[in-house]
Amino acid sequence: MINIVLFGKPGAGKGTQAEFLKTRYNLTHISTGDVFRYNLKNETELGKQAKVYIDRGDLVPDEITINMLKDEVEKNTDTKGFLFDGFPRTIDQAKALDEFFESKGWNLTATVALEADDEILVQRLLERGKTSGRADDQDEKLIRNRYQEYNEKTAPLIDYYKKQHKFYAVDGIGSIQEITERLTLLIDKLI
């Protein structure tokens, strides 16, 4: 089973690259954003709780996020592997994922970070906000708040996964095809 965590700051291209990777490696793609949007759209209890945080540009608390993702994984237990996009975002989420995988007899293959300069990413998100309809992509102050949250809560995952020898960084600047080629070269070496 191949299990990959794809992470990076908002706008780094996780969703775009996940679409390619899920097809190439026959993985079940679990996007935190998609799971949140499903729960928000259907006004589930977890969705209502998450909306309060998302509207402020804050990260959703771990307990809500973990419960949403566990539900999604349980729907796809016959898969060849999972590609997590946007999860975990904190050390506690990473530990919860490790414990959940261990309970299933699974292992995490790798975490891959798409790295890019903040200023480039801010412009990407503002551009995306013109068509996405997402309030948090249309306000530069909210975007920068998301980056501050990322730096405080998500960046420590780098050391967490380096200690497990499961962290790999990929340059997230360039054409979609160039970034895809970098990711493919890395993942092909790992599996």
Question: Residue 128, Cα to own-chain centre: how many angstroms?
Answer: 17
pLDDT at position 98: 95
Sheet with 28-31: list strands edge to edge.
Answer: 28-31, 81-85, 2-7, 110-115, 167-171
Query: Per residue in 3-46, pLDDT tens?
Result: 999 988 888 888 889 999 999 999 999 988 789 889 999 999 98
Q: Which of 14, 75, 162, 166 is catalytic?
A: 14
> 82, 71, 80: which is closest to 18 by C-alpha?
82
Q: Which residues are annotated as a binding site for AMP?
A: 32, 37, 58-60, 86-89, 93, 134, 146
Q: Following CA atoms 72, 78, 83, 87 in sequence, which dihedral angle do they give, to the nearest 10 degrees?
A: 30
Annotation: binding site = 11-16, 32, 37, 58-60, 86-89, 93, 128, 134, 146, 174
Domain residue spans of the chain:
2-180
Dihedral sign (CA 88, 93, 94, 100):
negative
Give the tens place of pLDDT for each residue, 160-171. 999 999 999 999
CA atoms of 19 and 62, how far apart (whole Å): 25
Q: Which CATH class is domain 2-180?
A: alpha beta
How many Å apart are CA 98 and CA 108, to the nearest integer? 7
